[in-house]
Amino acid sequence: MTLVLGALDREVDALAAALGDPVEESALGRPVYRGRIDDHPVIVSRTGVGKSMSALFAQHLVDRYAPKRIVFTGVAGSLNRGYELGDVVVARDCVQHDMDVTAMGFELGRIPYTDYRFLPADPALLEIARAIRPPRGRAHVGRILTGDRFVTDAGLRDRLAAALDGDAVEMEGASVALVAAVNALPFLLIRTISDHSDGTALDFERLLDVSAANSLHYVRELLARL
Ligand code: ADE
């Protein structure tokens, strides 16, 4: 079974609506949708926003449903100047940009005393995703930065991009990637660019719809090619 997560209802509603034989359950007070996409068993749910909510909820679902893999989808702000609104970025790896213990000599993003810094996508899932074309817009493979901050400042955006060589920024990917890594589960992170992380061109509602369509398309294609 594949666990498919997003942060917001709008990021997972289309996936939940596409399920065959759907069963709605509840976990930690949230709806969890069990069903099939084509012939593949999936669980779809919404983690809530930010690293803590997403990690604790993802871990709970891992304990409860023992998935074979985790896919996280939703929107991200661009860091890479070549990315346009509506483009898809599949994470080659992701990192917590606000894990900063540099004062004690650890590299930015390193969880102290662990091997965890750049958390890689599962190579097989990434290979499949590379071959998928989005319904509209372009597809990229890049590095996604995760932190508990919605970035709306061009200066901060450029500092983050430079410090960690990031291509996009969001608020849950690396925390769910950490849950996957600790539980030895394959992980893939797929985001649609909703803004340029500078507080301009915020057309969030429309981009949430584009993201939902991209997510459904990617998850469907991914599962079909497993
Ligand atoms: N998700 C979508 N856009 C974002 C941004 N600019 N910063 C953080 N998370 C985001």
The CATH number for 78's domain is 3.40.50.1580
Cα 151 to Cα 147: distance, rounded to the nearest angstrom: 9
Kindly tell me if the per-residue pLDDT of 89 is higher than 90: yes
Residue 209 bears catalytic tag: no
Q: Which two tokens stand for residue 20?
A: 């065959």
Residue with tokens 């996009």: 168
For the whole model, what pTM was predicted?
0.97
Count Cα neighbours of 57 within 13 Å in the Cβ-side half-sphere: 28
Q: What's the rounded mean pLDDT across residues 167-177?
A: 98
pLDDT value of position 94:
98
**Catalytic hit among 11, 13, 167, 172:** 11
Are the C-beta atoms of residues 154 and 58 closer than 8 Å to each other?
no
Amino acid in position 9: D
Mean pLDDT for all residues in the chain = 96
Kindly tell me if the per-residue pLDDT of 10 is higher than 90: no
Which domain, by its residues, includes 90?
2-225
Burial degree of 41 (CB within 10 A; 0-12, 13-18, 19+): middle
Nearest residue to 185 (alpha-carbon basis) of 87, 26, 43, 82: 43
Residue 195 bears catalytic tag: yes
Strands 20-27 and 30-37 turn out to be antiparallel
Q: What's the rounded mean pLDDT across residues 123-137?
A: 96
Residue with tokens 């990021």: 11
Distance of CA 155 to the CA centre of its chain: 24
**Number of structural domains the chain divides into:** 1
CB neighbours of residue 147 within 10 Å: 22
pLDDT value of position 209:
92
Q: What's the rounded mean pLDDT across residues 178-183?
A: 98
Cβ-proximal residues to 27 (8 Å cutoff; 6+ apart), any chain: 45, 57, 60, 61, 64
Å from CA of 223 to ligand 1 middle = 27
Residue with tokens 């990917």: 173
Predicted confidence band of residue 215 (pLDDT cuts 50, 70, 90): very high
Cα 50 to Cα 173: distance, rounded to the nearest angstrom: 9
Q: What's the rounded mean pLDDT across residues 89-109?
A: 98
176 lines ligand 1 (CB under 6 A): no
Q: Which secondary-structure segment (H or E) carries 128?
A: helix 123-130
Å from CA of 76 to ligand 1 middle = 5
To the nearest 10 degrees (0 to 180), the angle between helices 123-130 and 204-224 is: 110
Atom of ligand 1 nearest to the CA of 170: 9
pLDDT value of position 124:
98
pLDDT value of position 11:
85
pLDDT value of position 203:
84
Å from CA of 213 to ligand 1 middle = 18
pLDDT digits (tens, 9 = 90+) for 28-86: 999 999 999 999 999 999 999 999 999 999 999 999 999 999 999 999 999 999 999 99
Residues shown for the chain: 226
Count Cα neighbours of 152 within 13 Å in the Cβ-side half-sphere: 7
